[in-house]
Amino acid sequence: MRIWELSAGIVLIAYVIYALSPYRNDYPWLAYLPFLCIPIVALHVQFEGPRWEMAPIYFTFVASVYQEMTAQRTMDIQTHYIVASFGLCCIGAGILLSTSFPVFQLPAPRGPYAVGTSIRHLVDRTRVELAQPDFPRELMVQIWYPADETPKGRRAAYQDRATTTFWNARFSLVRTHSVVDAAVAGANGRYPVILYVPSWNGMRTENTHLAEELASQGYVVVGIDHPYSSFSTVFPDGRVIASRLLDEEFFRTDASFDRFLKTAETEVRNRAEDARFVLSALERLDAADQTDPIAHRLDLDHVGIFGFSLGGGVAAQTCWLDRRFKACLNMDGLMAGESFKSGAIAPLFFMSEVDPSPPPYPTDISPAKRREKELYWEQFAQARELFSTFGGYWLTIDRAKHFNFSDYAFSSPLHLFSRSGNIDPETAARTIGQHTLAFFEFYLKGNPRPLADEPDSNGTDFRFERAISHVEAKP
């Protein structure tokens, strides 16, 4: 809980204990505790922001003030204790909800640079929007970059409020470590560029902690929102485009499974073209736009790309299509397109949770579970084939789950709600960050330190592998 949330809870607990005490008449001044909560709640709303998880505490606060203002002291003793006990339960529920669904903090970046961030609107007039064929393809991107050591300004919100719903509004209250529109670090230096492509209906911010870590180490990271695919995309003119991708039960029937595979294939191909366009837009910006603060600061001869989940497959497909991308990181991602059979062409690093179980599968499992297991095994087996044939790197995190490869692992201390494995999320994030940095350092900056030298490379929960290419990958 945040400081003003916690303060309101403590004051209200003290008031309810007073109300339950048989000696409350000896301490009449404690009846004014609800009024002490008024400025506390006002400060909470003003500086922290209200959220639904605090609703039981808000209710208790309002009821307590009303009780004291109207001097409702004529209720019988039994009713008095029932009401006070109910208030205590409400406070407990508010504390439980606020702790289970916190306004979380991301790990602080550890590099020598501070981090700045800015948002850009890009329009690709050579392509039409598949969902609206009368309009060109538009994208929103967020750029994280090395900033001056002590940048002044507003820390960026994790998500725009317009991209959240009532149930996940707390994500717009999270403050990142990036300063909006901070000055780019250094006077003349150029920084390698890394693009980030999100998951199925994920957003550009879903791996902010890793983007900030890379930016603090001297990289420019560009995250992409894909309109009609990303959960919500906000344009400068106020338009909010919701995702048209359904979170249906993909494996429930043969029809829904086939629909999922076809959609995934289309999404991978379309988003790969988005990534290529973003790189071309950065090239034009760097060469021509003298007013843009990142112009002439991009090292576009050294470009990498990484993605989580479906975004990992997009990253591989982008590299297969475009040789400007020199390194690819696939974070527990589903692959499709030509890269699924032919590799990424560029050096490829796989990160994954525990290996899936191979067939044959028990006869008593449901058809949906069988489809799911068969897909995971097919993806894993083909990825291992690419790894052994074309070489690359592989990091397995045994106690992780899919969402440990994103910021969502930090969204709740309860693994059930964060959808993460029982590995400590900070430990997993630190190891993922170390290996990600070492990979891009080697291929984009020429730092020769082997990835296997990274801490925890072969610890209890981590298994690191490296394979040498036996053939030259060809499209």
Copy the structure tokens of residue 188: 């003349």
Q: How far apart are CA 265 and CA 429, in angstroms?
A: 29
Structure-derived torsion over alpha carbons of residues 258, 259, 261, 264, reported in degrees to the nearest 10: 180
| pLDDT digit string, tens, across residues 249-292 | 899 999 999 999 999 999 999 999 999 999 999 999 998 867 78
Amino acid in the structure at residue 183: A
Q: How far apart are CA 300 and CA 125, in angstroms?
A: 22
| pLDDT digit string, tens, across residues 206-233 | 999 999 999 999 999 999 999 999 999 9
DSSP run (H or E) holding 351: strand 348-352
| pLDDT digit string, tens, across residues 136-153 | 999 999 999 999 887 788
pLDDT of the residue at 255? 93
For residue 271, the SS3 value is helix
Contact indicator for 281, 275 with CB cutoff of 8 Å: no
Q: How far apart are CA 321 and CA 338, in angstroms?
A: 9
pLDDT of the residue at 69? 87
pLDDT of the residue at 473? 43
Copy the structure tokens of residue 354: 């525990």
Q: How far apart are CA 50 and CA 230, in angstroms?
A: 26
For residue 192, the SS3 value is strand
Q: How far apart are CA 200 and CA 363, in angstroms?
A: 30
Name the pTM for this structure.
0.92
Copy the structure tokens of residue 271: 């988003």
What one-character-per-residue DSSP string does 356-374 give?
Answer: PPPSP--TTS-HHHHHHHH
pLDDT of the residue at 326? 97
Q: How far apart are CA 180 and CA 290, in angstroms?
A: 20
Q: How far apart are CA 27 and CA 262, in angstroms?
A: 70
pLDDT of the residue at 288? 80
Residue 300 CB-half CA count within 13 A: 16
Contact indicator for 187, 297 with CB cutoff of 8 Å: no
Q: How far apart are CA 275 and CA 281, in angstroms?
A: 10
Burial label for 237, CB within 10 Å (0-12, 13-18, 19+), is: exposed
| Spans of the chain below 70 pLDDT | 71-75, 289, 449-459, 470-475
Contact indicator for 140, 277 with CB cutoff of 8 Å: no
| pLDDT digit string, tens, across residues 56-88 | 999 999 999 988 888 655 667 788 789 889 999
Copy the structure tokens of residue 417: 């709600």
